[in-house]
Every structure is written in structure tokens, then in C-alpha cells.
Amino acid sequence: MPNTGVVISDRYLEHDTGPHHPERPDRIRAINQRLEEVGRCTRVGIIEPRMVDLSLVEQIHAKEYIDEIRYACENDVPFIDTPECPLCGVSFEIACLSAGGVIEAVEAVMAGRVQNAFCAVRPPGHHAEHATAMGFCYFNNIAIAAQYLRNRRGINRVAILDWDVHHGNGTQHSLNRDPNVW
């Protein structure tokens, strides 16, 4: 059993943010290339993402907001809420796959298949608020996973450590009133 699981998928490359956007497919390509160089199959376990159950997303995000993103993608709307959150036709689907990948990582750890996991997913999530996309984020993947642990796995307390250079405002906004999430 590998110690570390990695959620990664070529599907994450399909979310097209444009050639000059800072959050672009090259992030995943670089991670995947490095994993190949170090022999990912022998050192880490690959965790295949799956689509998130939208009822989990609705525990963190307003249904109207979720529907707005889906509608925007189906109708070629160029961005949601702010130009820093560009959309393409598959952005909704890939955002669901991103959140689902984080859930799969949680499940792999909980089932003892890996001791820890790294989620090389996109779009990212920690800036997404209840009904607002921002900071390249559409669904708050980690907040969704925390709710999943609490509601579906019976975990009483969850700690989230976010060491991104920017404040994880969406995660705080989603969970700051819950005394059992730190």
C-alpha cells in the first residue's frame, strides 16, 4: 500500500481558462510530468476522481448558484461573477469532478488504502463562497469534503489547514459558524 494517494486526471485539463490565465491546465501537466519522472506508479497510489453528488455541493453552495454555473456553461457565458472565473462548455462538469476527486481522496484515507492524499485538481475551490465564484474557484472542494466527512462518515470534528498565499475566504465563509470545524 502506498503511503500517499494522488488525485489527478487528464479531464482536469479540459477546463479552459484561456492562454494567459494564471490558473491553467499547465499546472496539472507539470504535476503529472513530475510524477512520471519519479515513477508515480511505484511511489504513490493514483486515486481516480468521480463526479460529486450534487446534494453534497448543495450543503455548501446555494442551489441557485449551482444552477447558474451549469446554465452559464451550457450557454457559452464567458465567466461567472468575475472575469477571473472564466468558463467553457465543460467547466461545470470539471468543477464537479474536482469536488468529487477530493471526496475520493477522503474515502481512500478513511478506508485505509492510503495514509494521506494530495489532490491535484482544478478548478481549485477555497475562494468559492456560498453563492459567489471568485479567485478562480467555483465549488469549495475542501468545505464540501468537510461536510461529507461530518454528515456521511460521522466524523465529529474536522480541521482544515490552508497554506495558500491567499486567505481561504470561501472556506471560512462556508464553515466559520460551525464550532466543530477549525
Every domain of the chain and the residues it spans: 4-175
Cell of 112: 485505509
% of the chain with per-residue pLDDT over 70: 97
Whole-number average pLDDT of the chain: 93
Place 83 in a pLDDT band, splitting at 50, 70 and 90: very high
Q: Picking from 10-14, 73-77, 106-110, 168-172, which range would have the lowest pLDDT averaged per residue?
A: 168-172
If you average pLDDT over residues 6-35, what whole number do you get? 92
Q: Which residues are catalytic?
A: 127
Is the separation of the CB atoms in 151 and 131 below 8 Å?
no
Radius of gyration of the chain (CA): 16
Is the pLDDT score of 40 beyond 80? no
Place 41 in a pLDDT band, splitting at 50, 70 and 90: low
To the nearest 5 percent, what fractions of the chain are helix, strand and coil?
40, 15, 45
Residue-wise pLDDT tens digits, 140-155:
999 999 999 999 999 9
Q: What is the CATH number of domain 4-175?
A: 3.40.800.20
At 60 the pLDDT is 96
Is the pLDDT score of 23 beyond 80? yes
Place 1 in a pLDDT band, splitting at 50, 70 and 90: low
Residue in 162, 48, 45, 43 with CA at minimum distance from that of residue 104: 48
**Number of helical H runs and strand E runs in the chain:** 7, 5
Place 44 in a pLDDT band, splitting at 50, 70 and 90: confident
- What is the pTM for the complete model shown? 0.93
Paired strand residues for 71: none
If you average pLDDT over residues 66-72, what whole number do you get? 98
